[in-house]
Amino acid sequence: MDLKQADIDHGLRAIQQAVTTTDLETQRLHWMGKQGLITQAFKTIGRLSVEEKPAVAKQLNEFKSQIIDVLAKQKELVKKIELQKAIDDKIDVTLEPRLLTQGHHHPIHQVIKKLNYFFAQRGFESRSDYNLEIEDEWHNFELLNIPAHHPARSMQDTFYCGEKILRTHVSAAQPRILKNSKLPLSAVVFGRVFRCDTPDATHTPVFHQMECLRIDRHCNFGHLKTIIEDFITFLFGEKLPIRYRASYFPFTEPSVEIDVWMPEKKAWLEILGAGMVHPNVIKNAGHDPSVYRGFAFGVGIERLAMLYFDLDDVRELYNSDLSLLGDCYLWQ
């Protein structure tokens, strides 16, 4: 027999370099096939003398099991390599990526963000430091020129909790801001308000408002109109038909309410109350109303969201219906 351990070692390394089933099969036949080196070597044993036979046969069996062992191990490895290759071949890196379905903010929050952006650009500071949902009657009513037993208190049905109340409007932040700020001031406050209302298509007992307050030496109704019309145009991306209705709020004089025309529904929707800040409100906060004047308005955020997303019922915003909310995406 001509086979030496060095030949076998060389052969084992060759087997270990086979990375495809075909390479490995060639290697197997090379050693173990009919004409293979091991098979042929066994055939030569017959020609040996009786004394030589056992040692050579032992040696050959040893070589055979080394080869078989490494062939089996390499087979497992080749299987894995080929599987991985099959997977890799299926991944086409030149394909367009699939669009991920991305979440976004709730429509109410989107409107708030967009308004915040608009007013920040015009120098209005967002005063969430005075954004108190649990208020007292003093700030919610009294300081806003609505004394006890004033009929205007019943305009907004109030939730009472002990000494405190849940604020009925974000205007309750006005006296706090006025008292704690140097004039002139430009502020916006966003927040939730609470009214003992029966829910219907345009009312919920909890809703969101933005309060805007500007106090300066020279501040007039023209400024109020301009900023309101500008923010509506900014929000909706076009000039919408709006109408002013004379109204009454004890804390503004004169007062107006503003409606926006809904072309699809062919109806007006009230979105905000506004007016020139009443001198008593400025006086109550310790400032001189003969020097300072201002405007204020309070916008219903849900109303804006309804208009923007063309919703029929404000309660749709609270139903957590993701197929509806998912379509309500405002920020370009």
Pick the binder of ligand PHE from 124, 190, 292, 297 (CB under 6 A): 297
Beta bridge partners of 50: none
Distance (Å, whole) CA 243 – CA 268: 9
CB nearer to ligand PHE: give 31 or 190.
190
Q: CA–CA separation, 233 vs 323, rounded Å?
A: 28
Where does 91-220 have alpha helices with state H?
107-121, 137-140, 173-179
Q: Does 250 bind ligand PHE (CB under 6 A)?
A: no
Compute the distance between CA of residue 126 and CA of residue 129 in angstroms, rounded to an integer. 9
Round to the nearest angstrom and report the end-to-end CA distance of the chain. 83
**Complex with ligand PHE: residue 66 or 140, whichever CB lies closer:** 140
Instruction: Provide the strand spans (E) within the chain.
Output: 125-126, 134-135, 160-161, 164-166, 185-194, 206-216, 242-249, 252-262, 267-277, 293-300
Looking at 119, 130, 190, 249, which residue binds ligand PHE (CB under 6 A)?
Answer: 249
Kindly report the length of the chain: 332
Closest distance of CB 174 from ligand PHE, Å: 8
Least Å distance between CB 252 and ligand PHE? 4
273 belongs to the binding site for ligand PHE (CB under 6 A): yes
Binding mask 194-233 for ligand PHE (x = CB under 6 A): ----------------------------------------
Q: Which stretch binds ligand PHE (CB under 6 A): 68-76, 225-233, 294-302, 319-327?
A: 294-302
Q: Does 66 bind ligand PHE (CB under 6 A)?
A: no
CB of 110 to ligand PHE, least distance (A): 22
* Minimum CB–partner distance for residue 234 and ligand PHE (Å): 20
- Which residues are CB-contacts of 67 (< 8 A; sequence separation ≥ 6)? 8, 11, 12, 15, 31, 32, 38
Residues making contact with ligand PHE (CB under 6 A): 169, 171, 249, 252, 255, 273-275, 296-298
